[in-house]
Amino acid sequence: MNPASFRLRSARAFAAAVLRALTWKAVLLTQVLGAALAVQYWLENEGPAQPRFLPVLIVQALCALYVLLAALAADQAVRRGWGVWHAFAVTLLGITGAMAGIQWGVNDWLGVSSPDGGFGQFQYFAFSSGGWSTALLVYLNRRSAQRVLAGVRAGELMRLTAERSLLASRLAAAQMQVDPAAMLRELAEVRDRYATAHPDADDALDQLITRLRDNVARGAVTAP
């Protein structure tokens, strides 16, 4: 296969996996988090230098959507063999660049100017990057822990399945040690002895029980 074609197919499969992982719950959660960050920053800068709330809200909404896609992509990279910190570092670089472009693009579109020569915009950029990078790291660590837990559960399930198979094989071996026809004949003999009040009826019953126990014990030992 052509290497370029293979890379293109892998990229398509990767993008499709990211889109499949995208859910409306995740979008809603990140949008709520973005709105909370916007409100927090807007309230912390109350005063003459307080920025307009609408640009702050739009920037955080767009950043939330981008960070969500980047986080899902980083999670898929970890599933394909990347280390958590490697994926975090690469994704963080992409997030910071995208957030810078989103912030300055929205401010230019809405005609927002910083009265302090751009320091306020840089401060807002640092605040936004810190909040979203923390959320990204928490998400990646949580997904990694979930995969480890899923592996432990799968191993436990395999162990329980093997134990059930072993018990089933022991039961089958024990059943093979017992001849049903002979057992019915001996039971009939014991019944007849009890019916005629034969003096050794109790001994015959005890001998039958002992043989059954021995057969079950031999089957349990020879089953593995």
pLDDT in tens, 14-59: 888 888 888 888 889 889 988 888 888 788 777 666 677 888 888 8
Secondary structure of 117-141 as H, E, C letters? CCHHHHHHHHHHHHHHHHHHHHHHH
What are the sequence ranges of the domains in the chain? 3-162, 177-222
pLDDT in tens, 167-211: 877 766 666 556 667 777 777 787 877 777 777 777 777 887 787
Q: Is the pTM of this model over 0.85?
A: no
